[in-house]
Amino acid sequence: MLETKDEKINELYLWALKHNILITKDAIEYILYKGIDLNKVKNILTKKEPGFLEVKELEELENPEKKEVEILPATSSFLAKNYEGKVKRVWEFNTDFESKTSVENFLNYFRDRYNKIRSLLLQRQGIRNVVSIEKLTSYKINEEVSLIVSIREKHDRGKGDLKFLIEDDTGEILAFVDENIYDVAKNIVEDDVVAFKGKLNGSKKYFIIKEVFYPDIPIPTNESIAHTKEPLTAAFLSDLHFGSAQFIEKAMQRFFKWLYSGDDYAKRLKYLFILGDNVDGVGIYPDQEKELLMHNIYDQYKAFEEFLLKIPEHIEVIIIPGNHDAVRLAEPQPILPKKYLEEAHNLKNLHFETNPAMVNIHGFDGEKGINVLLYHGYSFNALIDTLTDIRKVARDKPTIVMKEILKRRHLAPIYGSTLLAPKEIDNHVIDIIPDIFASGDLHSHDVSNYKGVTLISASTWQAQTSFQDRVGHVANPGKLTLVDLQMRKTKVIDLLG
């Protein structure tokens, strides 16, 4: 069977990657437009050092006197080489998929969520005289008590008219919100676990909510802000989407140029986090095949692996999957399979983690290290759509919704906002306070701080797609987020600017 032109171009692209050369998108389009003999292109590549093949090199076929393209220097001085790196898994998940489940499994799941968050709420100041719903009627009408409950139903008519059907492990009761706290209570969503302070009404048939408490995270002290003693940095990337026709090769090119540039942050780079959607996948959304450069999932991962293999071995690379990756969609998602990234799995500086994950970096003897919470962010859309106060802005500034996540101490507070593996425990409860919380998925870019936690919504390497146009996503690609781990300061480099 004769190969098509697209198949030959794809073969050339992968051949070049094996020789540590990336053919830019513009160069591929130039080859097709000019009808350049692919054997001549290979001849150019065999004479090149590792780097990038761009249009101006191809133009030399017709105009040989042109100068060669600038390539990356072979060596550079990395201060981070002088320091040992350490990555330790904080959260351990059993990600074996159970094909059979029962109602009891899901009941146990909600019980586990309730009990974990209840214990966090009990640590909050201001929550006193906690009683169960079952014993509530034994208290006097005007006696102030606190309930720790799960929100079963929410009914909001606006203008201060808000009520909940609430439950704990002893029963359920209808609860009405005092109109003075409506603006606070309206942001509570179904399945939230919260504490209410209030009292019974005159007939003892429902509860009147006077105050709301989220589990939240405490205000930090200077001593609780984690940092490294060594002058090291970390970098955060997400949504690379290798294999997409909208993949931005220029971002990759400029990333490696920055890495070898002698920049202060680059010389001190010790930890690199890659937050899911590493490839574009196949069949993820309708008509996706029209926007793919590589139609084979193995080819996509081969391109991603070639990128990983170019990263200097003194840098510890931590990688999680996303909803475009070749793992199950149900969370917690297992690590990326070795069958797609066999060579990368054998490298000691590459650490494959689940989604979600929490890892501790640089936690040597006598140093507590820095806890980094990693979550691709698939559940964020549902929470953004539910919270009217943030709906119009949170997709452009995703750390707004990340703050709501930390307030609730749960990565997917609305049940059904992401698929869940049928387990009896809730793996999305944030039982350990992170020092850094990093996510992706929304293809935006945002950095902020919430009560001492550095929040990072990492940028994408994919330009706007037709699917994103249809669902209202606006990409903000090519931003590299950096964190000075010693000073806990952030810096952003625009790889496309």
Q: In this predicted model, what pLDDT tens digit does every residue of 404-445 receive, in sequence order?
A: 999 999 999 999 999 988 778 999 999 999 999 999 999 999
Share of the chain above pLDDT 90, in %: 70
Mark whether 322 and 448 lie in a shared domain. Answer: yes
Peptide bond between residue 332 and the one before it cis (omega within 30 degrees of 0): yes
Last residue of a domain, one of 188, 213, 238: 213
Place of tokens 């093949």: 53
Asked if 30 and 145 sit in the same domain, the reply is no
Q: Is residue 196 situated within a structural domain?
A: yes
Whether residue 155 sits in one domain with residue 277: no
Structure tokens at 128: 């006193």
- pLDDT for the residue numbered 2: 43
CATH number of the domain that 185 lies in? 2.40.50.140
Count: domains in the chain: 3
- Whole-angstrom CA distances from 380 to 89, 359, 390, 418, 476 are 24, 21, 12, 9, 17
CA angle (98 as vertex; 94, 100 as ends), nearest 5: 155
Closest residue by Cα to residue 86 from 305, 238, 289, 271? 271
Nearest to 431, CA basis, from 455, 409, 447: 409
Whether pLDDT at 43 is above 90: no
| Residue 75, in any domain of the structure | no
The residue segments making up the domain with residue 186 are 125-213
Residue 54 confidence (pLDDT) above 90: no
Please report whether residue 319 resides in a domain. Answer: yes
Structure tokens at 339: 């069958």
Same domain, 205 and 229: no
The residue from 213, 237, 252 where one domain ends is 213
According to DSSP, the β-strands at 357-361 and 436-439 are unpaired
For residue 16, the model assigns a pLDDT of: 79
Across the range 348-362, mean pLDDT stands at 98
Mean pLDDT of 236-256: 95
Question: Which pairing describes strands 453-457 and 446-450: parallel, antiparallel, or unpaired?
Answer: antiparallel
Q: What is the DSSP letter of 192?
A: -
Residue 69 vs residue 140, higher pLDDT: 140
Whole-angstrom Cα distance, residue 430 to residue 415? 15
What is the pLDDT confidence band of residue 68, given thresholds at 50, 70 and 90?
A: very low
Tell me which H or E stretch contains 213. strand 206-213
Task: Measure the CA–CA gap between 354 and 332, rounded to whole angstroms.
Answer: 7
Give percent of the chain with pLDDT exceeding 70. Answer: 92
Cβ count within 10 A of residue 319: 25
Spatial contact of 146 and 176, defined as CB atoms under 8 Å apart: no
Angle, helices 38-46 vs 5-18, to 10°: value is 0
Residue type, 278: N
Residues 43/58, Cβ–Cβ less than 8 Å? no
